[in-house]
Homo-oligomer: A and B are copies of this chain.
């Protein structure tokens, strides 16, 4: 089993109250694929510029992540620069340079078109639609988005939302997309837009999953060190989709459907808890399976009533 991710591979410059990182590996597809690679084979579709360091591609390779779909174009890699305040909440974007990403036009190989699990990371909904149109009957498609697309490409966004199985967005995006301040009402409105399942990410406050079966809540793991929240949401998505696509019975066995998706949410939260412990993908790229297992146990204890 495997998962395809379409998103950004970027070079980030990040400042937090705990330090700085200059032109480090970032982008939604980077975080997603490293997290998902814990569980399954991952194929990245993305674009980088001529300045993109080969060491990052080598690192993906070393993790068994297929980088054959990362196209190198003339020009510079997508660059984002942001600064976090003391609360480590939403960062202030200091600079965004789309560079080669501006003309990103993903064309999928036949192999990629037949992959069963797809994650459309936060990119222009028109591109998300274009990718989805190329897929041959995938089993499960999830997508992310951001406020910018809610405000500027709402009709395309609504179309993609109506066609995916799972929408994963954060709290403020859910409220903005629905126009509802209460998250349960926001969720109901968004579910009416078409997805079978909605996951609302709330940063350090955990994640909520809405489906016809009800609501499931997973806390965030309370950490003793947080250096850089960048990529936590994409890591969550990677842990989630990675687990779902790790075994072909997952997500299809009706009796265990909700249980499987709940486990996926917990794995998403567990993986995300590592990402924020260091800058860039540093923690994620060094992650050992036993560390994931240990934190999973600690995580399960958090909400255990016994």
Restricting to A187-230, which residues have a CB under 8 Å from any CB of B? 202, 204-206, 208, 214-219, 222-226
A181 close to B88 (CB less than 8 A): yes
Complex Cα spacing A118 to B203, Å: 35
Total contacting residues, chain A, CB less than 8 A: 35
Closest chain B residue, CB of each to CB of A86: B181
- The reply on A303 being an interface residue by CB < 8 A is yes
Q: Which of B88, B204, B206, B263 contacts A219 (CB 8 A)?
A: B206
Given contacts A202-B205, A205-B205, A206-B205, is CB(A218)–CB(B303) below 8 Å? yes
A182 close to B305 (CB less than 8 A): no
Least CB distance from A41 to B in Å reads: 26
Complex Cα spacing A2 to B202, Å: 38
- The reply on A302 being an interface residue by CB < 8 A is yes
A184 close to B222 (CB less than 8 A): yes
Q: Which of B181, B202, B305 contacts A259 (CB 8 A)?
A: B305
Restricting to A212-264, which residues have a CB under 8 Å from any CB of B? 214-219, 222-226, 259, 262-263
Least CB distance from A18 to B in Å reads: 10
A216 close to B303 (CB less than 8 A): yes
Closest chain B residue, CB of each to CB of A256: B306
- The reply on A301 being an interface residue by CB < 8 A is yes
A305 close to B217 (CB less than 8 A): no
Q: Which of B184, B206, B222, B303 contacts A183 (CB 8 A)?
A: B222
A224 close to B87 (CB less than 8 A): no
A266 close to B217 (CB less than 8 A): no
- The reply on A185 being an interface residue by CB < 8 A is yes
B217 close to A303 (CB less than 8 A): yes
Least CB distance from A180 to B in Å reads: 10
A184 close to B224 (CB less than 8 A): yes
Closest chain B residue, CB of each to CB of A298: B214
A301 close to B214 (CB less than 8 A): yes
Complex Cα spacing A263 to B182, Å: 26
